[in-house]
Amino acid sequence: MVSKLDLAQFSETVSIPTLPEVVMKLNTMVDDDKVGLEDIGLVVSQDAPISSKVLRIANSAVYGLSEPARSVEDAAKVVGARTIRNIAMQASIFNRYEQYEGTDGFNLRGIWKHAVFTGQLAQELAKRSPVIETSSAEELYTCGLLHDIGKVVLLETLGEDYLEVYEKSRESGRAVHLVEEEMLGVTHTDVGALVAKRWDLHELIVKVIQHHHGPRYEIEANPQVAVVAISDQIAYRIETSEFEMFSRKLAALSSNLLKLPPSEFDEVLEWAVDILPLIEI
């Protein structure tokens, strides 16, 4: 039987991964105008496993480089420093939890693929939405990438107890965050926000992770929260092949909250369906 947790106590016992030094350095470097792409390349290449993974992901079809990049610096010239930071963050987080791949009842690869897909969608919607500053698009990728990280941290912290939550969600057809709330008293949104805080990420990122499943007024009041909440839904519905059923609702939400015309929404969708199979993790 799973016992209920208190978030304050939980935050003292939970094992939150530390961000590798290379990602922490990149986090400060990308906001510094004096830092060049050569410096970014140099920092990443000091961490060999991350560096090779960054290069592999940057050369994957999703980023559509016309010629394969041979170095991180080359890749940064095409995709930009912030995207390189995001790819490095992605590579290091996935490496950190590798041992949970193949856990029965917990599809870790599915969660990572969903995270990257949500990040890609959030960035694309943010670039197109007139109510969101284009400069925050990469930050919204980070939000998408990290929005469900609380699930993996909960798995590591609670083990079997967390798998029970998943089982109950599957059996009852209820969303994971609702079952978490009921069985654990904390949700992956609380834990994800805690992770972002510990990593000193921007307040915006903490807020978006905290509210990606609601409450509704937070989604309606903050376009950045709305972008990730809508991207999460689009990603999930495409992944589970039930997008048709929800397309009108999601188009209406995008129009109301992101001021995205229906024709642009359709373009994003077409693009999303095309890139999903190209995502490498």
190 is a site residue for Fe ion (CB under 5 A): no
Nearest to 119 by CA among 274, 277, 272: 272
Nearest to 142 by CA among 234, 244, 224, 35: 224
Cα torsion at 252, 228, 222, 178 (round to 10°)?
Answer: 90
Please identify, among the stretches 96-104, 145-153, 214-222, 271-279, the one whose residues bind Fe ion according to the rule CB under 5 A: 145-153
Question: How many CB atoms neighbour CB 275 within 10 A?
Answer: 18
R_g over Cα of the chain: 18
47 is a site residue for Fe ion (CB under 5 A): no
Please list every residue from 234 through 273 that binds Fe ion, using CB under 5 A: none
180 is a site residue for Fe ion (CB under 5 A): no
Please identify, among the stretches 22-30, 158-166, 198-206, 227-235, the one whose residues bind Fe ion according to the rule CB under 5 A: 227-235
Written as six digits, the tokens of 198 are: 């510990």
Q: Which residue has the tokens 């109510």?
A: 131
Min CB(253)–Fe ion separation in Å: 16
What sign for the dihedral angle of Cα 262, 264, 268, 269? positive
Contact with Fe ion (CB under 5 A) among 47, 73, 180, 232: 232
Min CB(129)–Fe ion separation in Å: 20
148 is a site residue for Fe ion (CB under 5 A): yes
CB closest to Fe ion, residue no: 232
Please identify, among the stretches 92-100, 146-154, 243-251, 269-277, the one whose residues bind Fe ion according to the rule CB under 5 A: 146-154
- Enumerate binding residues for Fe ion (CB under 5 A): 148, 232
